[in-house]
A and B are shown apart, each in its own frame.
Chain A
Amino acid sequence: MEFTRRNILALGSGAFAAASFAGMPAFASKTDDAIAAFTGGASVTEGGIDLTAPEIAENGNTVPVSVSAPGAVSIMLLATGNPTPAVATFNYGPMAGTRSGATRIRLAKTQDVVAVAKMADGSFRTAGATVKVTIGGCGG
């Protein structure tokens, strides 16, 4: 798929204003909806989960992210500033060596990436990371 810079910008323009990760606004954002659908409305606490993403991405097309949450049964990744926040959900089976995973994702613009883990005991953990998405000088 050929994402040109203009297309990427067009992707971003349709998105909700990126909800700040720390202090979610009162209105329900698409991200809140996605988290609620995952947790069934249960409370989510920070910690117990590591999310690694670059501070700066040279191109929003291919941003490496990795996540690890010991004891998780599944981990959901969200890109809060994309038109649709859902990115991927890792569900772990009995042969999983660790409750971790890495992939490459598309980010429409500078935004927070959020991971939410469902733990074996039914609790939910979350972590976030801000990724600055730059626009190449010579998009060519």
Chain B
Amino acid sequence: MKFKTLLTSAAIVALSAGFASAQDDSILAVDGDVIKTRAAAPAFAENLDTVYSGWHFRIGETQSLQMDDFENPAFVFVDQGIDLFDKVEGSEGKACASCHEDVADFAGLRPTLPRVENGELVTMENLVNECRTERMGAEPWKYTGGQMTAVTALIGLQSRGMSINVAVDGDAAPFFEEGKDLYYQRVGQLDMSCSNCHEDNYGVMIRADHLSQGQINGFPTYRLKNAKLNSAHARFKGCMSNIRATPFKVGGDEFKALELYLAARGNGLSVETPSVRN
């Protein structure tokens, strides 16, 4: 058994070498603003030298969709997000815009999330729904639903180009450790961890597709596959289903911890929200 494992590892190493150029040298610029899609890996990600945005693993046609905000289909949903931001809902007669007059004031928020507030790990979805239930007297939105992703894309966009800088120490340390454990934990019928694909084999073909590093700096992301915005938790759920595991709950503690750990693995990359992937 051990021998077999060794063989497999050797084969993977050979493959990695063969496809080392999968993450190309292109530069992502949107309307002239350069977005940092590669960076020195954070020290804790000891198995990586460089972190690459998922953008580098896509073909030119898909890449170019993200290089112009008109071409980027995600902006259809950002537009919807603008309408939702201004829409009065709930018992208090308020919209997001009632308190947050200029959505641009959210610049700088996306790179720090998720973060710990009063001992709890908080995602942007949590912040949005807290505003809805606590201050607007409105129903919370579905965690991965279309209204939520439209507004999280709009808010995330305000920080586009800013470097991801998620805290991993202090209050965040236990959540970071939990997320790291989940990242390396093999699960499901295929008995695979996140790291098996996204750390050991990024750049390698999986069928007709290049595996990425699983960076989440571009989420919510527009996928050609389903022609809508996809939240990070929805993507985690998809990955877990693919390896025949029972997915954790979207918005639940496990995925939030995993989101923190994955976001931190991209510390140094720019926020790309809303990105375009296949």
Which residues of chain A have a CB within 8 Å of any CB of chain B?
1-5, 54, 56-59, 61-64, 134-140
Contact = CB atoms under 8 A, between A and B. Distances in A.
Given A58-B58, A140-B238, A5 B208 contact: no
Interface string B52-92: 00000011111000000000010000000000000000000
A132 B161 CA distance: 34
A27 to B, nearest CB: 31
Nearest to B205: A137
B12 to A, nearest CB: 15
A61 B184 CA distance: 33
Interface string B157-183: 000000000000000000000000000
Given A58-B209, A59-B278, A62-B73, A136 B225 contact: yes
A59 B227 CA distance: 10
A63 to B, nearest CB: 8
Contacts of A57: 61
B206 interface: yes
A58 B205 contact: no
A137 B224 contact: no
A2 B242 contact: no
B205 A2 contact: no
A135 B209 CA distance: 8
Given A61-B224, A138-B239, A138-B242, 5 more contacts: A5-B225, A62-B73, A134-B208, A137-B208, A140-B242
A28 to B, nearest CB: 33
Given A135-B208, A136-B209, A138-B239, A64 B61 contact: yes
B225 A137 contact: no
Contacts of B62: 58
Nearest to A59: B224
Contacts of A59: 224-225, 278
A89 B278 CA distance: 27
A135 B59 CA distance: 14
Main secondary structure of the interface of B (DSSP, over half): mixed
A129 to B, nearest CB: 13
A110 B197 CA distance: 27
B211 interface: yes
B233 to A, nearest CB: 12
Contacts of B207: 134-137
B228 interface: yes
20 contacts: A1-B227, A2-B226, A2-B228, A56-B59, A58-B62, A59-B224, A61-B224, A62-B227, A64-B61, A136-B207, A136-B209, A137-B206, A137-B210, A137-B211, A138-B197, A138-B206, A138-B238, A138-B242, A140-B225, A140-B242
Contacts of A2: 226-228
B235 interface: yes
A110 to B, nearest CB: 11
Nearest to A62: B224
A1 B225 CA distance: 10
Contacts of A137: 205-211
A3 B227 contact: yes
Nearest to A104: B73
Contacts of A140: 223, 225, 235, 238-239, 241-242
A138 B244 CA distance: 12
Nearest to B210: A137
